[in-house]
Amino acid sequence: MLTQHIGPFTCQVSREEGEAVVSPRGELDMATVGAVEAELQQLRQNGTPRIILDLGGLTFMDSSGLHLLVRWTNEASKDGFEFQLEPGPPVVQRIFELAAVNDTLPWRRQD
């Protein structure tokens, strides 16, 4: 029997002048999407003009994570703040390809 160790979900925020990077680690799914949402909302309430969501530490993302990213992309275009995504590992990037939204999201850089 194979067992896979999945570490606990964490979400760290680092701030520099005019910018914040939100870095979730682990699985972004129904159980954890609220934690990321809370961090993003707090940054917006504090007036952070540029938010980067770094997906590099994710091991999995489901449709609730995808919905969050699409919604925040739309909010940024309406509310005039900058929202960018740092690409995740192939297993995470695959969901964007399957949903046919890869070309519509604000990627910080394409690998």
Domain residue spans in the chain?
16-98
- For residues 107 and 87, the answer to whether their CB atoms sit within 8 Å is yes
100-109 b/e with 16+ CB inside 10 Å = b? eeeeebebee
In this structure, the number of other CB atoms found within 10 A of the CB of residue 38 comes to 11
- Pick 80 or 41 by higher pLDDT: 41
Average of per-residue pLDDT values in the chain: 92
Write the pLDDT tens digit of every residue in 67-97: 999 999 999 999 989 999 999 999 999 999 9
**Where does 46-109 have alpha helices with state H?**
63-79, 90-98
The pTM (predicted TM-score) of the whole model is 0.90
CATH T-level topology, domain 16-98: Transcription Regulator spoIIAA (3.30.750)
